[in-house]
Amino acid sequence: MGATSYGSSDRPPRGDYARAGQVKADYTCPQDYAAYTAADHDTYRRLYARQSALLPGLACDEFIAALPSLGQSSQIPRFDDINERLHKATGWEVVAVPGLIPEVPFFTLLANRKFPVTDWIRTPAEFDYIVEPDVFHDLFGHVPLLFNPVFADHMQAYGAGGLKAHRLGACEQLSRLYWYTIEFGLMRQASGPNQGLRAYGAGILSSSGELVHAVTSPEPQRIGLDLLRTMRTRYKIDSYQQTYFVIDSFQQLFDMTAPDFTPLYAQLKSLPELAADALLPGDRLIQR
């Protein structure tokens, strides 16, 4: 997981970045599978069981269909086992990292169809909430949709766009798009037997509380995705979101984000930032 997706912190990132000299310039390292304890595997099993039971009626069909591709749910999967299936499906692979990593390595990995997965897991005391992404958040929340060809292509394009944003000094604006789509995005399923508002963002799908809140609560605003609007909107990392942005399909998301963002970054320089709960006259509100 990249540092861009969880904002800045006053404390150093959690995780063993030394890893006995095994960390490379891109921050990838071997998954330390032998270090997982029986309690670690049990935590993963219980998290998986709780989240998977909540998915029907709340998660998008694409995510539910892809989730079995993670493999066994009774213990933390081996990344190599996932990669055998993932590379065949979309050409992606997961790589282990010690925790949050800087923007350029993060974007570079995505641009090369490599998704960085934190390989440590939360403690039992953090079962319901953890600030930084752990192996459960990254695997359960992010990796299933990398088996979806359109979403997988979008993630690679986002990585390439992130490298350009870094050169243009626009990473903060682009990180907001990541936050409100890849982490906390909602989709309006318009066809099939499971029509309605559904989650596809990893931050929602890996959180029992936010999954229910994002899809069913009357409290948050749900607004049709607009790139300028989204990249102007600040976000909070320590509470449920006050605003969610909604897409109609992954193809729509891919098509919207395919053009060069350079003109958008130029426009953003002259526009004020928006609070996380702001509502503008032109916003397209989506009803549950």
163-209 pLDDT, tens digit per residue, is 999 999 999 999 999 999 999 999 999 866 678 999 999 999 999 99
- Backbone angles phi and psi of 256, in degrees to 5: -65, -35
DSSP, collapsed to helix, strand or coil, labels residue 199 as strand
In the numeric block, the tokens 């682009």 are attached to 174
Longest Cα separation, the chain: 55
List the structure tokens of 24.
Answer: 């490379």
Whether domain 3-268 has CATH 1.10.3720.10: the reply is no
Q: How far apart are CA 195 and CA 174, in angstroms?
A: 30
Q: Where are the domains of the chain?
A: 3-268
State the number of CA atoms in the 13 A half-sphere of 66 facing the CB. 24
Nearest partner of 101 among 119, 77, 123, 125, judged by Cα? 119
Contact present, 59 and 144 (Cβ < 8 Å): no
- Catalytic residue positions, numbered: 137, 142, 183, 206
DSSP at 29: B
pLDDT score of 251 more than 90: yes
104-162 pLDDT, tens digit per residue, is 999 999 999 999 999 999 999 999 988 889 999 999 999 999 999 999 999 999 999 99
Nearest partner of 1 among 163, 92, 117, 142, judged by Cα? 117
Contact present, 52 and 44 (Cβ < 8 Å): no
Q: How far apart are CA 134 and CA 118, in angstroms?
A: 5
What pTM was computed for the model? 0.93
When pLDDT is averaged across residues 208-235 and rounded to a whole number, the result is: 97
When pLDDT is averaged across residues 87-112 and rounded to a whole number, the result is: 95
List the structure tokens of 249.
Answer: 């399909």
pLDDT score recorded for residue 22: 54
